[in-house]
Every structure is written in C-alpha cells, then in structure tokens.
Amino acid sequence: MSREIKLSGLSQQETDNILPNNTILLGYVGSISHGTQIPKENPDSIDDIDIMGIAIAPENVYMGLKKFEQKEVKYKEYDSVVYEIKKFFSLLLKQNPNVLGLLWLQHQNYIYKSPIGQSIIDNRNMFVSKEAYHSFSGYAHGQLHRMEHLACKGYMGQKRKQLVEKFGYDCKNAAHLIRLLRMGIEFLTDGELRVFREDNAELKEIKSGQWSLEKVKRESEQLFFLAREAFIRSPLPPKPDYEKVEELLISILRSSLGYIDI
C-alpha cells in the first residue's frame, strides 16, 4: 500500500496523492539512477526527481468495467509515473528501455520493494531478448531527431529552451542518445542492463554542452553501427519468455486478489 511509502520532502498526504494504492515497487529513475543528475544549485540544472513504479489495481479493473493503466503526476520537484502491473509487463515485453531500467536499479535507488515487487526483479531475465535492439535503437533515433528538429518546442521548460539557444542543440537529448546506445550495446552483449553509468562524467559533459553537435553525431553514428553488430552477435534469446511471464503475472494477480497464496 502507498501508506507504507513516504517520499522525501513531502507529507504523507502529498505522497498518497501521487501514488496509487497497492504500489508494489517504486524507484528513482532518470538522471538519479544513471548518476547523471546535475545539482539544483547549478544554474544550468533542468533535472526533476523522476520516479517510476508498479501497482496492482483494484479487483474491478480486472473483473469489472473500471479501467486503470497508469498514474502520472508532476508535483513540486517530483515527476512520477506508476504503471498497473499488466501494462508494466506489456512494456517490458516490448523491451521499453525506461521500464526495463526499473528492474536493474542499484539497491539505494529503490524507494520501496514489496515481496511481490522483489519477485519481479528476481525474474527479470525472462523479459530479456534480442528485440531490445529495436527498442533501444528506436528510442535513440527519437532522441537524435528531437535533438535537432524539435528544439524549443512546447514540452520544454523555459530554462531548457534557453540552453538549446545557448548551445544550438538539445544537450539533454544528446546525452540520452549516447546513453541509450551504449546501454543497448551492453544489454545485447550479456543481458545485463547497466542503469548506473560508469561513464556518467562523460554523459554529464554532453548534457552540459561541452561536446559540439558534430562530436555527438560522430559518436552516435559509431554507436548505431556497434549496436547493429551487437544485435547480430547477441547470445540473447530472440524473444522474451512469454509463457513464463504470463505464469508469473497470473500468479501475482491471483495472490493479490485473494485467490491463492503465492
């Protein structure tokens, strides 16, 4: 239950307004988990506190007419998204890079882990497959496009727009681009998602505009090539283990809804 969780700097009521009931897993994602957060005291900082979680919905979502897939809230410094478990599993099966990352966080970046949440982490390898190439590369292409062609669009805050004008491209998108490609190559090589980045100092350089646009493009071009090579040579299974994923999901839901003990 969300009552077991209290977010730092917020009251219990504020926390409960952000998180759905029966949140079973919650962690810091984004720049905190990657080790690339730029401190608030830095005048160029544009980082929020990103959190992601999984929740089990009420019975009427599964047995009745009510619908619930996710709850997204931006409040103060927090940018939160909590997915209903079936939606979360569907995103995992699509190898969504951001969602996969929740299962590979460093211990200190988990805010809350219920026994069920831990069981999902323990079974994370059943979601691993070569299809990650398409999702990681696809997301990277999206960052590459936004980096140049969507500069100063409506989704940006004023400070981020100013940074785009200062450097001539979106440095935050550039850092995401390089990070996604490197993570994808590593994941395809050994099935481990290195969310915390040992290259975080370099990524922060990119994020703060210390790389030229030309250098970012050269690095990304090489990484796209290496990602393709990693896909061809990858020892990972071609697809996730859908049967085992479904068994795990059914077991969790039956237990949570009171049908059997897990």
**Band (262; pLDDT cuts 50, 70, 90):** very low
pLDDT for the residue numbered 156: 58
Q: Which two tokens stand for residue 240?
A: 């996730």
pLDDT for the residue numbered 229: 98
Asked which of 54-58, 82-86, 255-259 is least confident by mean pLDDT, the reply is 255-259
pLDDT for the residue numbered 2: 46
Collapsed DSSP state (helix, strand, coil) of residue 78: strand
Residues 21 and 1 sit within 8 Å (Cβ to Cβ): yes
Return d(Cα 10, Cα 239) in angstroms, integer: 41
Contact partners, residue 106, CB within 8 Å, separation at least 6: 33, 195, 196
pLDDT for the residue numbered 36: 95
pLDDT in tens, 171-181: 999 999 999 99
- Average pLDDT score, the chain: 91
**Band (111; pLDDT cuts 50, 70, 90):** very high
User: Which is more confidently placed, 161 or 261?
Assistant: 161
Whether residue 3 has pLDDT greater than 90 = no
Q: How many CB atoms lie within 10 A of CB 231?
A: 19
Residues in the chain: 262
Alpha carbon of 241 to those of 185, 208, 233: distances in Å?
21, 40, 20
pLDDT in tens, 184-232: 999 999 999 999 999 999 999 999 899 999 999 999 999 999 999 999 9
Whether residue 1 has pLDDT greater than 70 = no
User: Which is more confidently placed, 100 or 40?
Assistant: 100
Whether residue 24 has pLDDT greater than 80 = yes
pLDDT in tens, 148-189: 765 555 555 676 777 788 888 899 999 999 999 999 999 999
Q: DSSP labels for 17-67?
A: HHSPTTEEEEEE-THHHHT-PPPTTSTT----EEEEEEEPPPHHHHHSS--
pLDDT for the residue numbered 159: 67
Summarize the confidence of residues 100-123 as an average pLDDT: 97
Summarize the confidence of residues 250-255 as an average pLDDT: 94
Return d(Cα 187, Cα 227) in angstroms, integer: 10
Whether residue 261 has pLDDT greater than 70 = no
